[in-house]
Amino acid sequence: MKIFNHIIISAMMMITFSCAANAGNVFTPLNFDNAQYTSSSSGTKIAADTTSIRTSAKQTATVIGETTGGKNMQTAITELDNAQVEVRNELLNYKTKYSEVDARYNAVKTERSNLAKQIRACERKIRRLDNAKEKIRRNMVTAN
């Protein structure tokens, strides 16, 4: 039992010390080493102050762009948008082709059904004529 208690205590100590050792690696900002910070120089001219503010704002925007992916991410998003537009255009082409084929299919289908009706009507006429001929033959045979 003592050995089991020592194993549990040593495991708990290892877990607590390993958590303390890894605590420094919890937060690492993106591109922290690449960030360039400029100190704004205080001048007596207003124009100099506005230009320094503009440059610091541009550099801050650059740092933000670098941390969020920058131009590479924007070009990737643009390429994905272009690909999406191409696929949508292709979809429209397929839909128009489908509607054309569907219209032809429906036209052929209605034409087929109309022809089938005409065939049945002609077959009925032929049967009626055959029946009429048969009746006439029977009448001729019975009359003789």
Instruction: Kindly report, residue by residue over 56-84, the tens digit of the pLDDT.
Output: 555 655 555 555 567 789 899 999 999 99
Q: Is the pLDDT of residue 101 over 80?
A: yes
Q: Which residue has the tokens 């949508």?
A: 88
> pLDDT tens digit string along 109-120?
999 999 999 999
**Encoded tokens for 139:** 């009448």
Q: What is the pLDDT of residue 143?
A: 76
Kind and range of the H or E run holding 34? none
The rounded distance, in Å, linking the Cα atoms of 69 and 10 is 44
pLDDT classification of 42: cutoffs 50, 70, 90: very low
Structure-model confidence comparison of residues 1 and 89, the more confident one = 89
What per-residue confidence (pLDDT) applies to 122?
A: 97
The first and second tokens of residue 96, run together, are 């128009």
> Is the torsion defined by CA of 90, 91, 96, 98 positive or negative?
positive
Question: Is a pLDDT exceeding 90 seen at residue 132?
Answer: yes
Q: What is the pLDDT of residue 82?
A: 95
State residue 5's pLDDT score. Answer: 85
**Lowest-pLDDT choice from 37-41, 70-74, 123-127:** 37-41
Q: Which position has the token pair 């009507």?
A: 121
- Residue in this structure with the two tokens 């065939």, named with its chain if needed: 119
Average predicted confidence (pLDDT) for the chain = 78
